[in-house]
Amino acid sequence: MLSKKSILDADSLSLEDIKLILSNADSFLEISRRDVKKVPTLRGKTVINMFFEPSTRTRTSFEIAAKRLSADIINFSPLTSSLKKGESIIDTLKTILSMKVDLIVIRHSDSGTVKMVDRFVDIPVINAGDGKYQHPTQALLDLYTIKKRFGKFEGLKVDIVGDFLDSRVARSDMNLFEKMGMDVTIVSPTMFLPEDFSGMKVKHCIDDVIEDADIVYMLRMQFERQDRKFYPSVMEYNRFLTMNMDRLGKMKPGSIVMHPGPVNRGIEITDEVMDTSGELAEKIVIEEQVTFGVAVRMAILYLILG
């Protein structure tokens, strides 16, 4: 079992926890490839998805993971709940707890909300993304994707490209990547970096790293979290940061391109790259990340509730 009952951030995951999750994901990946994709492991357990922000991949991934383990899953929608009538989130949680659920998966636009929920409830909580803070299960599935492609972590060169300042994925990924021995560089203009980035390896143009990278991790442009104009123009962003066919062709054999989704086509990655076929298409592992995400979240639910 994991050393902690809740998964709130990447920082608090020990190396033992990470290795345990990744090793268990292998067996759950095999279940997802069967004709009958279901085991009775969590029969009788109830998981509630509380998503206060829009989500396709993470919400559906947790729902499928729970159902494949035979848990009951409830999708809570704030838009159709008593929150719209003025009920506080604490009173909403009291109501949910009185129904004897076993685990809460929560996403919220405000950083720190997930930790507040964890302090209030006495059941496990999984952070599915809170504000600009963390998204630990995304980082874990990213690690698993890298493991399946490279078979190792130590010494791999990873470049995280784009809006680092507003990205919870970037924070979680950077923490876990460095913890596993990878060499991480942030590729971003200064306006997308924290005020103090002196402890980070930073480049400002993707061309400075593209030929030497093992993994190029393209961050989504976080339009919904920006309180200022995001960049002088899309053309300028394309010039310094966008993954296009020319840059994809310069990447070394065996290297990969990752993205947490959804992709803003024409900004982080061009249409041509997203729709490419043949040998270069093997570098794009975005759909693999989604597939592996279900297995990783199955492993997490099992290790917490099993």
Q: Provide the pLDDT for residue 232.
A: 65
Instruction: Kindly tell me the burial class for residue 41, based on how many C-beta atoms sit within 10 Å of its own C-beta (0-12, 13-18, 19 or more).
Output: middle
pLDDT tens-digit readout, 265-293: 999 999 999 999 999 999 999 999 999 99
**Phi and psi for 184 in degrees, rounded to 5?**
-105, 130
pLDDT > 70? residue 225 = no
Q: How many CA atoms lie within 13 A of 23 on its CB side?
A: 9
pLDDT tens-digit readout, 31-90: 999 999 999 999 999 999 999 998 999 999 999 999 999 999 999 988 878 888 888 989
Label residue 199 by pLDDT band (50, 70, 90).
confident
* % of the chain exceeding 70 in pLDDT: 97
Could you give the 3-state DSSP secondary structure of residue 215?
Answer: strand
Beta pairing, strands 103-108 & 125-130: parallel
How far apart are alpha carbons 109 and 64 in whole angstroms? 23
Average pLDDT estimate for 195-209: 92
Domain residues of the chain, as ranges? 15-134+291-305, 136-289
User: What CATH number matches the domain at 15-134+291-305, 3.30.530.20, 3.30.70.2740, 3.40.50.300, 3.40.50.1370?
Assistant: 3.40.50.1370
What's the residue count for the chain? 306
Check residues 229 and 175 and name the one with the higher pLDDT.
Answer: 175
Q: Provide the pLDDT for residue 230.
A: 56
Could you give the 3-state DSSP secondary structure of residue 293?
Answer: helix
Mean pLDDT (the chain) is 94
Terminal-to-terminal C-alpha distance of the chain:
9
What is the pTM assigned to this prediction?
0.95
75 and 131 Cβ atoms separated by less than 8 Å: no
- The count of other CB atoms within 10 Å of the CB of residue 273 is 24
Label residue 231 by pLDDT band (50, 70, 90).
low
Quick check: do 15-134+291-305 and 136-289 share a fold? yes
Label residue 94 by pLDDT band (50, 70, 90).
very high
How far apart are alpha carbons 293 and 287 in whole angstroms? 10
Q: Which of 136, 139, 200 is nearest to 165 (CA)?
A: 200
How far apart are alpha carbons 88 and 3 in whole angstroms? 31
Which residues fall within 8 angstroms of residue 95, CB to CB, at 6 or more apart?
Answer: 82
Instruction: Kindly tell me the burial class for residue 190, based on how many C-beta atoms sit within 10 Å of its own C-beta (0-12, 13-18, 19 or more).
Output: exposed
Q: Provide the pLDDT for residue 73.
A: 97
* % of the chain exceeding 90 in pLDDT: 84
Label residue 191 by pLDDT band (50, 70, 90).
confident
Second CATH level (architecture) for the domain 136-289: 3-Layer(aba) Sandwich (3.40)
Label residue 15 by pLDDT band (50, 70, 90).
very high
114 and 98 Cβ atoms separated by less than 8 Å: no
pLDDT tens-digit readout, 160-170: 999 999 899 99
Which residues fall within 8 angstroms of residue 31, CB to CB, at 6 or more apart?
Answer: 37, 38, 39, 68, 295, 298
